[in-house]
Structure 1
Amino acid sequence: MSTHALRRPLDGTAIGLMVLLCAAWGLQQVVIKVTAPLMGAVLQAGVRSAIAALLVFAFASWRGTPLWQRDGTLRPGLVAGLLFGAEFFCIFVGLGHTTASRMAVFLYTAPIFTALGLHLFVPGEHLRRGQWLGVVLAFCGMALAFVDGIVAPSAHASTLLGDALGVVAGALWAATTIVVRASSLSSAPASKTLLYQLAVSAVLLLAMALAAGQAGRVEVNGMVVASLFYQSVLIAFASYLTWFWLLRQYLASRLSVFSFLTPLFGVAFGVLLMHDAVGLRFGAAAVLVLLGIVLVNRKS
């Protein structure tokens, strides 16, 4: 019996966990933005990755997961880690120049870039007509959102920089996924793949933060501690391992349909908690992007 056949359709447990994960991922942009005045963006990202890497290493060691054997994953693992670090550099820095709601929409265009990349670089991953329609709708939504950032009376010039970094972060996220799918990492244990990404990004981001002098400008208080706990323990460690567990238990095609919920939660939390202004133009742009994500993830 194939591994795919052992995976089952979604039940109440899977649906509940997916909604919870999407809400947690959508809240992440708000948490990062709230903490930014107290702790430098790049330093915050580096500490997050470092804590999560230690937790994943401890978890993998406890489970007896082989981490040190030569299995051809070193080179793609380093590449995936560098891409992962660059992605979070763009997210954390970009949130200083745009709203949490806008970042959520631009960042979660990643499934669109992933579908395009898999179409180009992975045999058997060709886009169908409906998926191409999803790609077109998503890119129209991104274009409309950029126009909104230019002409909206409340927007500032710096918003465009943050928006652009959000799109770059989404593309880097997609590139990381493609490297994993198209290399020996695709058959490696999930915790080893995640450890590559977290450990390499931690070294990269912490070095950049030290070079920028951010280590000396930290105001440690309860909010900073709570934010780092949320980002590293709940998101980068627990939520990712839960996601990998779901992929092993349930049909991936059914799980991927929930992709649209994360930017939806991100916009909602940005409006409710950060009082982000969402006009009609940006709302229409978000709907186009979400519709594009749903179409790209639909299976024939």
Structure 2
Amino acid sequence: MIRKLVSNKIFASLTAIFCCALWGISTPIVKMGYNHIDEAHVPSLLLWVGIQFIVAGFLTIGIYSIFSKKILLPKKENVKGVVIVSVLQTVLQYALLYIGLSQTTSVKGAILKSTDVFFVALIASLIFKMEKLTAKKLISCVIGFLGIVIMNLDGLSFNMNFLGDGLVIIGILSYSFSVIMTKLFAQKENPIVLCGYQMGLGGVVLSIIGFVLDGKFDFVGMLPIFVGLSLIYAVSYTLWTILLKYNPASSVTIYSFMTPVFGVIFSALLLSEDGGVAIVNLIIALVLVCIGIILWGYEKGNKNCTKQ
């Protein structure tokens, strides 16, 4: 029943868009949090995001355990998978991204982060042989990526910062591999259990790193933002993991192009700012991203996306 529902193309698309909307709305919420933390101090950011993931993991496992009427634990043989996904998706991705973004511009960071769609498609097809890399997929990626570039065109600099940009790219590579690992290990483990424990474990590691390096922030002033982000991460990553279990990895990550678009829209609505993005650029970006997604998912006479 769950497989049939989640692998339905319309349901999967709406769920993926919902996840991207949640990540998009986290952008202005994170900016609000910068009023209570030194955003230039990486250890403080790692401590902050680490505790968020601890809470997100606790909420995910706790709520699901209540509904299941038992404490949910990963199977002994799947603990290794939880650790691998946690290291790749939570620890390395966020540590490298936060350090890298502190050394480069937010515009370049947004564009570089959008390359995860390319990386997932390449890794899934060329390394793990899980999917076929077709011309249609590559064209879809290029169209969607072009939309993100156009959206950020006004603030784009072509000067390469090898430390900052390089760390962001490595962080995105780590996330891309984690997508594939999540799909593989989710076949053997309950995706909610996998997601909850990997977030919690990764959060502990990030928190320890941040604390040891003298990270600190205004916890009381941050509390509402803290709770909001933890809920967003718990819901979005859990749904994303379920989608990856029942659908081709690249067919899920193609929707990641929507995240920065939602980020700009929600920032304009909640913070009365547009981040310097012209409305024309935003509209063109949204159209191109939608075209890329539609082109990717179009299969004549096929309503499910479990096969490609």
What's the TM-score once normalised by structure 1's chain length?
0.74
Aligned residue runs from structure 1 range 175-254, under 5 A? 175-182=177-184, 184-215=185-216, 218-222=217-221, 224-233=222-231, 235-243=232-240
| Cα shift at 1:134 | 3.3
Question: What is the match of residue 26 of structure 1?
Answer: 24
| Cα shift at 1:199 | 2.2
Q: Is the 8 A contact 2:261 2:286 kept in 1?
A: no
Q: Is the 8 A contact 1:271 1:277 kept in 2?
A: no
Alpha-carbon distance in 2 for matches of 1:5, 1:66? 23
Q: What is the DSSP-based 3-state SS (H/G/I as helix, E as strand, rest coil) of the residue aligned with 1:34?
A: helix
Q: What is the DSSP-based 3-state SS (H/G/I as helix, E as strand, rest coil) of the residue aligned with 2:264?
A: helix
Change in Cα spacing, 1:251 to 1:95, as seen in structure 2 (3 Å) is closer
Question: What is the match of residue 115 of structure 1?
Answer: 121
Percent of aligned positions with the same letter in both sequences? 21
| Cα shift at 1:239 | 3.0
Alignment pair present for 1:61 and 2:65: yes
Q: Is the 8 A contact 2:257 2:289 kept in 1?
A: yes
- The residue type paired with residue 149 of structure 1 is L
Deviations 1:88-131 (A, max 9, x none): 22444455556666544432432221111101232341111111
Q: Is the 8 A contact 1:53 1:199 kept in 2?
A: yes
| Cα shift at 1:229 | 0.9
Q: What is the DSSP-based 3-state SS (H/G/I as helix, E as strand, rest coil) of the residue aligned with 2:156?
A: helix
Q: Is the 8 A contact 1:31 1:227 kept in 2?
A: yes
Deviations 1:215-251 (A, max 9, x none): 3xx22344x1121111112x12123334556778999
Deviations 1:38-85 (A, max 9, x none): 2321111111111112112213432247524323x2223211101122
Question: What is the match of residue 306 of structure 2?
Answer: none
Change in Cα spacing, 1:289 to 1:105, as seen in structure 2 (3 Å) is farther
- The residue type paired with residue 112 of structure 1 is F
Alpha-carbon distance in 1 for matches of 2:105, 2:230? 22
Alpha-carbon distance in 1 for matches of 2:173, 2:265? 23
Q: Is the 8 A contact 2:120 2:176 kept in 1?
A: yes
Alignment pair present for 1:48 and 2:48: no
Alpha-carbon distance in 1 for matches of 2:137, 2:247? 22
Alpha-carbon distance in 1 for matches of 2:285, 2:125? 24
Question: What is the match of residue 76 of structure 1?
Answer: 81
Alignment pair present for 1:278 and 2:277: yes
Q: Is the 8 A contact 2:144 2:293 kept in 1?
A: no
Q: Is the 8 A contact 1:253 1:298 kept in 2?
A: no
Change in Cα spacing, 1:86 to 1:36, as seen in structure 2 (3 Å) is farther
Alpha-carbon distance in 2 for matches of 1:86, 1:285? 33
Single out whichever of 55-64 and 37-46 deviates more from structure 2.
55-64
Q: Is the 8 A contact 1:132 1:296 kept in 2?
A: no
Change in Cα spacing, 1:180 to 1:6, as seen in structure 2 (3 Å) is closer
Change in Cα spacing, 1:287 to 1:245, as seen in structure 2 (3 Å) is closer
Count of matched residue positions in the alignment of Structure 1 and Structure 2: 287
Alpha-carbon distance in 2 for matches of 1:24, 1:253? 20
Alpha-carbon distance in 2 for matches of 1:239, 1:2? 17
Alpha-carbon distance in 2 for matches of 1:254, 1:126? 11
Q: Which runs of 5+ in 1 are unaligned?
A: 152-156
Question: What is the match of residue 154 of structure 1?
Answer: none
